[in-house]
Amino acid sequence: MEMLSISLLNGTIYGLLLFMIAAGLTLIFGMMGVLNFAHGAFYMLGAYAGYVLSARVGFFPGLLVAGLIVAAIGAMVERYMLRSVHAHGHAHELLLTFGLLFVFDEIVKFFFGYYPVSYRVPETLSFSVFRIGSLEYPAYRLFVGLVSIGFFGALVLILRFTRIGLVVRAAVHKPMMVEALGHNVPLVMLLVFAVGAGMAGLAGAVAGAFYPTSPAMASEIGTIVFVVVVVGGLGSLGGAFIASLMIGILTTLMVGVDTTLADTLSFVGFGSWGKDIGGIFAVPLSASAGTLPFALMLMVLLLRPAGLMGERT
Amino acid sequence: MTATDLNIEDSNRTSARKAPGLGLLLITGVTVLLFTLPLLIPPVFLNYAIKMMVAGLFALAFNLLWSHARLLSFGHAAYYAIGAFAVIHALSLSERGVLSIPTPLIPMMGLIAGALIGLVVGYLATVRGGTYFAMITLAVGELLLSIAPKWEAVFGGESGLSSMRMPWAGLTFGMVGEVYIVVLIWCLFGLVLLRWFSATPLGQIALAIGDNEKRLRFLGYRTHAVKTVIFSLSAAVSGLAGGLIAFAMESASFELFAGANSAMPVMHTFLGGADVFLGPIAGGMGLTLFSELASNASRLWLLYMGVIFVIVMMFAPEGLAGFISRHVKLSLTCWRLLIADYAVFLSGCAGLVLSGVWMAEVSYRLMGTSPIVGLTPDGTITLFEWTFSATSKPLWFAAVAVFVLSLFGVLAAAKRARTTWLTIGQKKDGLR
Amino acid sequence: MLSVHGLRAGYNGTSVLNGVDFDLSGGEIVSLVGRNGSGRSTMMQALLRIVKPTAGEVTLNGCSVANLETYQIVRAGLSYVPEERLVFHNLTVRENMTLGIQRRPNAVATWHPDEFWSIFPNLATRRDVAAGALSGGEQQMLTMCRSLLGNPDAILIDEPTEGLAPKIVEAVVGLILEMKRRGIGVVLVEQKLTVALEISDRVTVMGHGTIVFEGSPQELCARDDVRRKWLEV
């Protein structure tokens, strides 16, 4: 029971973090029609920027500056790279971001090597906030959750109640029509790209201190966030929110489950048969937590490609 | 721009019709050369040659989907790996005497396994197009990657599987030369298969799908079935490529499923040039050769390749082969107009590469992030037998100067060349 | 007000507009008629540079628009109501209206959302409903009102009456006449020749990407040959 409540809390916080990264990706997809392969790299760049800066300007200012730096990088990618490839079609934009993921990965390895760097939670936040039964809960995890909730709230407020938010919400579905009403859509796209990248970067800076900061994080989180965006519905912020929480909680819960597929089969009397086959049937579900998101994404893509909340096209 | 493209395409077609004799001669020559290669070069290079051919074949298989139906797959590692495991299992079965097929025919198992899995995945994936298709292939790839290391019986867990090539008909397959010939024959088979497919009516319909799928559907074609077939064929030849690597290495592990293997054919194809038949082969072979040579010399090879890929996507989206073939068709008069700019452009590129690589390599050693390459204790570096101080100011100044000057030269030359191209295009437009 | 000279445009190397010359003054309704594929919609999109023209000169209130982006042209006073009634389905009717508002101090005519709420009570009662839930006719009204809120000097309207009930066609025609009354120049692509002839000051017939006839509705009625060659199916 204690385990369950801790897992639920962890899963929720992980889900919120996923949303902070996925928000930019799904908005960018809606406006540009391009799924940005390099988005996971922004998360990674944020973590490394946070690692470098926190040692120099202090932890919390470091987080903020890391987010801003990644936002600037995102803006440059949009303005000087994606925009010039736009004329060649979506496939080439996709390929460009694919190449960028590769380049950012290698640049990070260039400066920081292949192994995780020791980016640590600051002293001020390394205590436990409360206990559930015998388990202590680290304050930093709550901090991650709070930052994510803060950004979620800010994003919702901006989108709902400002004019630029209105333009973004409209442009997610019909960018050309928005421009034909006299709105500077290229500028709005640049802003959304920068803000999306910046949020992913800040998420990286915040999470990097807690989870390992290594070159592998770009493609790891990148693929999970892809799943979130697809399951939620490409271009749908609300869908991305639900999918983030769903995947965050599901994968965290799965890690704690020791049942195997063979055990499940024994309910219907095929237990020993399952164990004989071995292989995937004998693997505990906890080990297949990594498989679940992709299975889910595949199901969504095949059965309901518009996702949970996406518009059918 | 558009007018020029049209002209080039026209001349493309006519020249292809004009000189079949020359082409045939070239093909025969290259084939003969490939078959006599074991006599000409040492075994180490034959290993390189095997990897190159397989990479070329893999890229070509990947590009079947893009060049015909405009489908981008980001999960082709799956079929490559499954082909490899099929061959490893077949090899160990024949090792145990369960299966008796001639050893040189075993790579066929990769082809069959790829075709079957391709049929299933293709049927599901090609329901959608565009980004959704790309995402489905990516998801399938990641799914298999996450399952593979846990399914010991089939994929050998974390350590992988290995087996031995059995002797057959007096051949031991212990020599790399023998393996090379088997791989070469299979690669040529794959090449011919893909080439032949493009010429079949089905291949032509697949080509039309890329242009306008809706129109074909309205005409009554079952485009989904056609796409499933070409997906299956693409996966089959990818499986063959993976099978050949497993055949050559006598081992396979779950890492074959990794994203890097899905990225390779994408990079090879689009760097080489997706719309020219030989482009992916050139890209696959060229880049594999470079990576074999360069990865020994430099730890930064992947960075260079990524940067080149991004630059090509931005400035020459038709790929290097497309870029070159556009220029080969130019008339002599046009060349005379362009030659000076091109000379500046090329020397500028050389300057950029030299200074850029120098700076990257030296700063990489200065960073000290790599456990393998670093500075000598006295702060010097030896590159190509040349020893110098890593922090020497004059050297750094020279490198930066060369870089900036080259960049300037390249940009200026490219701008002038573009203007010339436009005037050429307009003249032709006016004549028509 | 709007003047076009030698406009050429196309898609992927195929030329659709082959040199169009065209003028529009304030308070004038000009209909573009012609068969499908004659280049009418492309012309509208080329004027706004949604499709980038390959040649030609377009001036709006005496200023060239050659170096402007689409949104800048709209802000300079040329609005566009596309054929597909592109309302933003996920936004409310009111939000759709708000998106159209542009401040233009020197505009020929100014419009206010409240006017539209009183002209079209249907929209007013459903102003907080998602626009995707409106009927086709209501969506058409909404797109036209939305574009007018940009306070344009000239407006391009593509097939406004397509697929609408006669009563709603009347309302659309009423709104277009109101635009004319306030001094806005209107370019209308209209499939229904009767409507076009009834409200237009001038009719322009397009064929093969050029203008093949220009004159008053009466003149067009008198020219059987033009109608037979360029209009009848």
Whether A259 is covered by a domain: the verdict is: yes
Percent of chain B with pLDDT over 70: 88
Separation between Cα atoms, residue C175 and residue C190, nearest integer Å: 15
Per-residue pLDDT of chain C (233 residues; tens, 9 = 90+): 889 988 888 877 678 888 888 889 888 999 988 888 788 888 888 999 988 888 888 998 888 888 888 999 999 999 999 888 788 988 999 999 999 998 888 888 889 888 888 888 888 899 899 998 888 888 988 999 999 999 999 999 988 888 888 888 888 889 999 999 999 999 999 877 888 888 889 999 888 888 888 888 888 888 878 777 777 76
Note whether A169 contacts C80, CB cutoff 8 Å. no
Pick from C122, C50, C39, C120: nearest CA to C79: C50
**pLDDT for A280 beyond 80:** no
Note whether A111 contacts B369, CB cutoff 8 Å. yes
Whether A308 is covered by a domain: the verdict is: no
Report, as an integer, the average pLDDT of B217-235: 86
**pLDDT for B365 beyond 50:** yes
Query: pLDDT-derived band of residue B372, with 50, 70 and 90 as boundaries?
Result: low
DSSP chain C: -EEEEEEEEEETTEEEEEEEEEEE-TT-EEEEE--TTSSHHHHHHHHTTSSPPSEEEEEETTEE-TT--HHHHHHTTEEEE-TT----TTSBHHHHHHHH----TT-SS---HHHHHHH-HHHHHTTTSBGGGS-HHHHHHHHHHHHHTT--SEEEEE-TTTT--HHHHHHHHHHHHHHHHTT-EEEEE-S-HHHHHHH-SEEEEEETTEEEEEE-HHHHHH-HHHIIIII--
ipTM of the complex: 0.89
DSSP B157-177: TTT-EE--PPPBTTB-S-SHH
Tens digits of residue pLDDT in B184-218: 889 989 998 988 888 888 888 878 787 777 787 87
How close, in Å, is residue C13 to chain B by CA atoms?
5
Q: What is the CA radius of gyration of chain B?
A: 24
Query: pLDDT-derived band of residue A31, with 50, 70 and 90 as boundaries?
Result: confident
- The set of residues, in sequence order, having a beta carbon less than 8 Å from that of A217 and lying 6+ positions away, is A40, A43, A44, A47, A204, A208, A211
Residue A244, domain extent: 2-303
Q: Is C25 on the interface with A (CB under 8 A)?
A: no
As a whole number, the mean pLDDT across chain B is: 81
Q: Is A279 on the interface with C (CB under 8 A)?
A: no
Tens digits of residue pLDDT in A294-313: 888 888 877 877 777 766 44
Q: Which residues in chain C touch residue A182, judged by CB atoms under 8 angstroms apart?
A: 71, 74-75, 79, 102, 150
Please give the helix or strand (H or E) that residue A286 lies within, else none: none
How close, in Å, is residue B201 to chain A by CA atoms?
26
Whether A7 is covered by a domain: the verdict is: yes
Tens digits of residue pLDDT in B66-109: 988 888 898 899 999 999 999 988 888 887 877 778 878 888 88
Q: Is A85 on the interface with B (CB under 8 A)?
A: yes
Chain B stretch 3-22, residues whose beta carbon is closer than 8 A to a beta carbon of chain C: 3, 5-6
**Res B32: pLDDT:** 80
Whether A312 is covered by a domain: the verdict is: no
Query: pLDDT-derived band of residue A282, with 50, 70 and 90 as boundaries?
Result: low
A171: domain CATH number is 1.10.3470
Q: Which residues of B158-193 are buried (b: 16+ CB within 10 A; e: fewer)?
A: eebbebebbebeebebeebebbbbbbbebbebbbeb
Residue spans of the domains in chain B: they are 41-318, 330-431
**pLDDT for B14 beyond 50:** no
Tens digits of residue pLDDT in B320-337: 888 887 777 776 777 777
Q: Which residues in chain B touch residue C12, judged by CB atoms under 8 angstroms apart?
A: 2
A–B CB contacts, 8 A cutoff, strictly below: 122
Whether A311 is covered by a domain: the verdict is: no
Q: Taking a C-beta distance cutoff of 8 angstroms, is the pair A39, A222 a contact?
A: yes
Degrees to nearest 5, angle at CA B111 with B105 and B116? 135
Query: pLDDT-derived band of residue A267, with 50, 70 and 90 as boundaries?
Result: low
Query: pLDDT-derived band of residue B34, with 50, 70 and 90 as boundaries?
Result: confident
Strand boundaries in B167-255, DSSP class E? 251-252
- The set of residues, in sequence order, having a beta carbon less than 8 Å from that of B19 and lying 6+ positions away, is none
Residue spans of the domains in chain C: they are 2-231
Tens digits of residue pLDDT in A37-95: 899 999 999 999 999 998 888 888 999 999 999 999 999 999 999 988 888 888 888 88
**Res B130: pLDDT:** 78
Q: Which residues in chain A touch residue B314, judged by CB atoms under 8 angstroms apart?
A: 81, 84-85, 96
CATH annotation of B41-318: 1.10.3470
CATH annotation of C2-231: 3.40.50.300
Whether A310 is covered by a domain: the verdict is: no
Task: Give chain A's domain count.
Answer: 1
Q: Which residues in chain C touch residue A179, judged by CB atoms under 8 angstroms apart?
A: 50, 69-71, 74
Percent of chain A with pLDDT over 90: 37
As a whole number, the mean pLDDT across chain C is: 87
**Res A268: pLDDT:** 60
